[in-house]
Amino acid sequence: FDMDRHAFHRQTNMYYPFANFGDWEMANFLLQSNLSMREVDNYLSLSMTKKMLLSFWTAKELHGCIEDLPKGPCWKVRIVPTCHLTTNPVQLYWRDSLECIEALFNHLFYAGKMDYSPFRVFTAAERVMRVYSEWMSSNGAWDLQTKVPIGSTLCGVILSSDKTNITNICGGKVAHPLLISLANIRMNVRNKGSSHAFLLTTLMPIAEFIYPVMRIHSVLEARLFHACLDFVLEPLKKAAQFGRMMADPLGNVRFCFTPLVSYIVDTPEACMLACV
């Protein structure tokens, strides 16, 4: 309850299982190079390299450190049953939405770049004019905080989806990629593509239904979208209701709730989400 597996080590070394930033930088360089394991062993055995006081001296030890790093959410696939016939089986590719939120919440890159409790900002000490910037500075965050146990942390969930062509040459496949992010991450960081603050969590399928009345096809597609969305977001709905223990980037374990605070879509998808 008090800490996760590596929380004790990360209190003094945020680069654990590596000794320091230089140790991590060397490991990152070797892993991204095209050197074989034997060539890595030869490089690490050089007398000049040994003066660096690395935490690994062989390629096997290096890969052992990598195996000790947190694993990202894995992809899964399932066949979605439908009430009406389709030209092909409906395949749903997804990653656990709660695991994606946990991966963002405890990522070291966002250390010092997230807010964990609501706050208010004013332009002067008289508190006449209030400034709204981050989600945690909004009235919505304050209202949600009053509905969860004292001392718990809100993890505001942001979703985004849009119909996209996956393959143009072979098959012309289309889907609704569902992206997920955290509203706790500060806006200037989250809005940068290089920050990778939005994770692809699901490829929502678009099926071709076999039904005599053509105008019903769009209704069936919308119902399929809702059914897949309901399945994918089930872990987040449970965490929003009952809470979930999650570690932040510094290893502090927090009692977190995951309400949906924003869904970024265009007008057609907004109508589909709201009207079916």
Give domain limits for the chain: 18-67, 75-116+149-275
Other Cβ atoms closer than 10 A to 121: 12
Higher pLDDT, 225 or 211: 225
Identify the DSSP state of 29.
H
Q: Which residues of 187-215 are buried (b: 16+ CB within 10 A; e: fewer)?
A: eeebeeeebebbbebbbbbbbebeeeeee
Q: 91-95 and 75-79 as β-strands: parallel, antiparallel, unpaired? A: antiparallel
C-alpha span between 94 and 82 (Å, rounded): 18
pLDDT at 241 over 90: yes
| pTM summary value | 0.76
Q: What is the pLDDT of residue 7?
A: 66
For residues 226-246, give the mean pLDDT: 93
Q: Please tell me which residue, 71 or 247, carries the higher pLDDT value.
A: 247
Q: Does the pLDDT of residue 111 top 80, yes or no?
A: yes
pLDDT value of residue 2:
44
pLDDT surpassing 90 at residue 232: yes
270: its two tokens: 């907004």
For the chain, the farthest-separated pair of C-alpha atoms sits apart, in whole angstroms, at: 76
- pLDDT score of 1: 37
The interaxial angle of helices 37-44 and 59-67, nearest 10 deg, is 110
